[in-house]
Amino acid sequence: GAVVSQHPSWVICKSGTSVKIECRSLDFQATTMFWYRQFPKQSLMLMATSNEGSKATYEQGVEKDKFLINHASLTLSTLTVTSAHPEDSSFYICSAPGRNDEQYFGPGTRLTVT
């Protein structure tokens, strides 16, 4: 199956700083990628759809100025959490669709804001 990587796997940052998370499709191209956030023992909540060459589409309630998404190439999307606060601590997962619409998920990035 297709492989999606994320970097870093985990990150600890201080409140008020920014953190960038990378999502890469390793053996296929992805014009669209999705960013999810998952709190402990909860479901995956879609934050935004990342579109190569155009602006991301954000879900209702997600601040686009706080969660900056850039889809610079057909294999890379980045999520930057700006001015991070402790309530932003979560598991961030990206995914990219395969040939048959199945979603291939990255391994996730655990963000802890102190």
- Residues of this chain that interact with another protein (CB under 8 A) are 1, 32, 34, 42-46, 49, 93, 100-108
Nearest CB to another protein, comparing residues 5 and 70:
5
* Interatomic CA distance for residues 2 and 93, integer angstroms: 16
Nearest CB to another protein, comparing residues 14 and 60:
60
Nearest CB to another protein, comparing residues 82 and 98:
98
Question: Cα-flanking dihedrals φ and ψ of residue 88, to 5°?
Answer: -85, -10
Shortest separation between residue 78's beta carbon and another protein, angstroms: 18
* Interatomic CA distance for residues 50 and 17, integer angstroms: 23
Structural contact between residues 114 and 17, judged by C-beta atoms closer than 8 angstroms: no
Longest dimension (CA), the chain: 41
Structural contact between residues 58 and 64, judged by C-beta atoms closer than 8 angstroms: yes
Nearest CB to another protein, comparing residues 46 and 76:
46
Shortest separation between residue 20's beta carbon and another protein, angstroms: 19
Shortest separation between residue 44's beta carbon and another protein, angstroms: 5
Shortest separation between residue 16's beta carbon and another protein, angstroms: 27
